[in-house]
Amino acid sequence: MQEYARQTLRLDQVASGQPAEQLGLGCFNWASWFKANPKERHGMVQREVHKAEAERRCVKAVAMNKQGSWTWWESMLEKALTWQEIWSMEGHRIKFLLCSVCDVLPTPSNLHTCTWKASQP
């Protein structure tokens, strides 16, 4: 990753001669890769790696937007339970309702947890 950041900084310097974000003259101080000392280069590489990681996380979050939309509370159906209904339910039904709300049912995504591995014969 650091080598990629170094190559990106060099390429930006050689290709355009100016930073990628063109905000205008005097908006920020821009250090040249070729004129920087080793300590400044190290800082430049760290900033470039941080920027690349932030971009990667942003792309991943945007790509997963619709994937988890069914888990949002806004899309859930409301179920109004009265105490009379709760007292008349069987124990395993109450357990199922509570586990479904807490997302601890034995679904494929939850089977990797230690609690389900231990309880399976």
pLDDT in tens, 3-17: 777 777 776 665 555
Regarding whether 59 and 21 lie in a shared domain, the answer is yes
Q: Which among 54, 48, 47 has a CA at the least distance from the CA of 11?
A: 48
pTM attached to this predicted model: 0.38
Regarding whether 86 and 58 lie in a shared domain, the answer is no
Regarding whether 43 and 95 lie in a shared domain, the answer is no
pLDDT in tens, 26-77: 555 666 777 888 898 888 888 888 888 888 887 777 677 666 665 566 656 6
Give the total number of structural domains in the chain.
2
Structure-token pair, residue 117: 């591995």
The Cα–Cα gap between 54 and 52 comes to 5
Regarding whether 49 and 20 lie in a shared domain, the answer is yes
Distances (CA, A) of 38 to 32, 35, 41, 107: 12, 10, 5, 52
Regarding whether 6 and 57 lie in a shared domain, the answer is yes
Regarding whether 59 and 15 lie in a shared domain, the answer is yes
Q: Which domain holds residue 16?
A: 2-63
